[in-house]
Amino acid sequence: MLTKKTHDTFKYMQMNFKRKTNWIALAKGLTFITTAWLSTMPSFGQEQIPYKVPPQSIVDLIDAPQIPNIKISNDGTWMLILESPGFETVEQIAQPVLGLAGIRINPITYTTVGENSGAFRSIKIKNIKTNEEFTFEGLPQNIQLSDITWSPSETSLAFLNKTLKQTELWVADLQSRQAKKILDQVNDTFGKTFQWKNDNELLVQQIAFADQEVPKENPVPKGPIVQENLDGITPARTYQNLLGNAYDEELMAYYLSSKLVEVNKNGQAKDIGVSGILKNSSYAPNGEYLLIEKIVRPYSYLVPIQLFPTEVSILKLTDKTSTRVHTIPLADNLPISFDAVVAGPRNFSWRKDKDATLLWTAAADKGNPNENSEVRDELFEATAPFAINNATKVYAGKYRIRQVLWGTGFGIIEESWRKDRTSQLSLIDAKTNKVLRILANRKSEDTYSDPGNLLVDKKGILRGDNKGNIYTQGLGASPEGDRPFIMRWNVFSTKQDTLYKSKRNYYEEPLYYDLKETIYVFRESSTVSPNVFSIGIKSKQEKQMTHFADPYPSLQNVQKTLLSYPRKDGLKLSATLYLPENFKTGDKPLPVLIWAYPREFKTREAAGQVKGSPNRYPRLAFRSPVFWVTRGYAVLDQADMPIVGEGSNEPNDTFIQQIEDNAKALIDYVVDLGVADRSRIGVGGHSYGAFMTANLLAHTDLFAAGIARSGAYNRTLTPFGFQGESRTYWQAKDVYDKMSPFTYAPNIKKPLLLTHGMDDENSGTFPIQSERLYAAIKGHGGVVRLVLLPKEFHGYRSREGVLHTFWEQDQWLENHVKNRKDK
């Protein structure tokens, strides 16, 4: 019998074969597979190279400490200062990974695996009232904290520690300043890993089959794998890491199954008798019932686990009796639409303002947006025994119900309709369910009119009072850039008061407001790194609460400007320009790197709104192009690439023309400013930005070279929709073909660098997309280089992988943009 560790390694290798990972890398253990155009000879080659390192100015920025993450307790007493670990090592990301039912897990530690682990390597606690700062005693070295959660009274913290061997649950006491592990073998693969029951107990998902061997695959097949569609239209978007056979089903059940245990802060645990693949569990506000959502058969090989059948039940905790409420069916036949949902009840939750009232939504249009219906969604509630057929209708919505929040005597229902970008907030009476008024009806892409997010307390109740006052926090988009705000909104009178707005020449992100006098903000500017400040709303008194060092001193004097410029049709566009600190007006124009990502809009007005802020301090990550300002380039980040389709027109109908118009408008503008050399402009992007880059090189002569990372280039491989496109290939064949740079590979003559993570998990961006585009360009004599990064996902995770990617980009820009020979 295979040992668990041996099985995990073997299964991981199988997965890589199954996902068409380059066999040479698996067979020979190569560090890189780099398929390159060799500039020194008219031939094409494939070579193994070790990881490379870019120039030191880039390495210093990659290795700079991360700006700390700040969390403030709901009562405003404690500030948590959390340090991110930065990029992992290649050894760390080389741990085994299993792809099952659309998710990826580490089969050793029972955690999900993604490009951002959300873990922190250190924690400091600051008493906001006394300014005292301390750390917990008892924490292990090399800790990886995640899922940090306050206890109900906010006197303790619970969090996960993800070691190389397992996932553990820890609790830290704020009074004693002690931390200790209370549970081993926590299952963090799927569902709600843990939650506080009360100040002394937590509900935790523990590994269900820890004492059993991993299922062994029979090398002799039992028979063929069959899929069949006898009735009905069952389209599905392109997903990765899906179930492929009965053995995958066994592995999913083995790794994703949990048992629920209640454990106290002393580590004493009791099994409450609930197990399975748990999608969700939550206590009723009075603590007497537990809502449980469990994945059940039939499974699907076409859609991820989030769309599998879900059995909804209620466990009465006093006598452990369980009542099945409903089973949400398999959602593998939804129409291709962002507004499509399953027919019947869905989205079960507890009403936060009542002791034990179950709330759910049901589609009045059978979940099909193409059905004519005055009512799209209905909201229902029921008390014990929680019978679906004996429920009270709370609300009938014109659009899809996305969220329900409760205040003192009222509720606010958030609806939206993706097709026309409508967003609506409705006010209802909490007792009678009568609709009192429509609080807001707007277009979701209109950022200038966004009232912000409704603020809730630790119980999920709207923060406010019994006079109808609630509070919102928003981005504050405006023609001068983002200016975040805190607003008081009286839902009865509809009066809105902006209590605080980020001051000019700064970007201030609200962290906490005490509803009286004091607001805490993360303040930064284009040249000053972020720190926390307390501000008196009435007194205007300010106090700096933290003194974090500038992580990027080399960028301190970089020139940063938010540009606004017109497209040829008059549409206003924006981009953020970074210039080297020593550049002066009248100097020789610079080589340029433009980095962008297309976005779709249904109105010109929304597309023309200013995005971002000129006052933000750079946040550098592997997706950022700002690194190259240290290499003497003018960098244009977040360059607007709006694709507008008004009325009955869809944005993608004119995708190619619009990205060309966007790019030409920006290039003309920065050339006229005197900062850009028109003959030395490179363009790049990640994912959909890579798709854009390949198209710009295929259809325009605006650029010297391109960088395309982890993109999709052949839209026939995503035939049931992609990005914001909801039409299928057969409904819009001409659009799919014209938008595919693969179709126009013979036209790509300017140098194109393609990079791709070999384990890309993102929907639609299979590594084969880059492999096939490379082969097509190569076959027509184009200048192209393909770099496949082992163990990397859609977002690159390892320090070695990111540094090598930047080395590739730097070499490409130096050779084909800054010092290009074919002007």
Q: Where are the beta strands (DSSP E) in 185-300?
A: 194-196, 201-207, 258-264, 269-283, 289-295
Q: Which of 762, 625, 752 is nearest to 698 (CA)?
A: 752
Write down the catalytic residue from 686, 794, 804, 816: 794
- Give the 3-state secondary structure of residue 628: helix
Please choose, from the candidates 667, 657, 680, 655, the residue with its C-alpha nearest in 3D space to the C-alpha of residue 750.
680
* Cis omega (within 30 of 0) for bond into 746: no
200: tokens are 């002394």
Q: Are 648 and 542 in contact (CB under 8 A)?
A: no
> What sign has the CA pseudo-torsion 105, 106, 110, 112?
negative
Q: How far is CA 456 from CA 224, 394, 472, 473, in A?
A: 52, 21, 9, 11
E strands, 3-108, in order: 33-37, 44-47, 69-72, 78-83, 98-100, 103-106
Q: Are 546 and 520 in contact (CB under 8 A)?
A: no
DSSP secondary structure of 681-713: EEEEEETHHHHHHHHHHHH-S--SEEEEES---
Structure tokens at 53: 């390192």
* SS3 labels along 285-326: CCCCEEEEEEECCCCCCCCCHHHCCEEEEEEECCCCEEEEEE
DSSP 513-558: E-SSSEEEEEEE-SSS--EEEEEETTT--EEE---PPPS-GGGTT-
> Which entry of 687, 710, 726, 798 is annotated as an active-site residue?
687
Rg of the chain over all Cα atoms, to the nearest angstrom: 27
205 close to 260: Cβ distance less than 8 angstroms: yes
In angstroms, the CA 680 to CA 659 distance is 19
Which residue out of 147, 332, 365, 760 is catalytically annotated? 760
Q: Which helix (H) or strand (E) holds 788?
A: strand 784-789
Q: How far is CA 733 from CA 600, 718, 739, 758, in A?
A: 19, 12, 10, 29
CA–CA separation, 631 vs 634, rounded Å?
A: 9
CB burial of 84-98 (b: ≥16 within 10 Å; e: otherwise) equals bbebbebeebebbbb
Q: What is the dihedral of CA 499, 504, 510, 516, to 10 degrees?
A: -30
Give the Cα separation of 189 and 206 in Å (integer): 10
Q: What's the sign of the alpha-carbon dihedral 759, 765, 768, 771?
A: negative
Give 729's contacts (C-beta < 8 A, 6+ positions apart). 715, 716, 719, 720, 736
794 noted as active-site residue: yes
What angle is formed at CA 12 by the lines to CA 160 and CA 717, rounded to 5 degrees? 105
Pair 434, 428: CB distance under 8 Å: yes
Cis bond before residue 385 (omega within 30° of 0):
yes
Pairing between β-strand 422-429 and β-strand 410-417 as defined by DSSP bridges: antiparallel
Per the CB < 8 A criterion, the answer to whether 48 and 33 are in contact is: yes
C-alpha 267/C-alpha 170 separation (Å) is: 9
Residue 420 backbone dihedrals phi, psi, to 5 degrees: -115, 15
Which residues form the catalytic set? Answer: 687, 760, 794
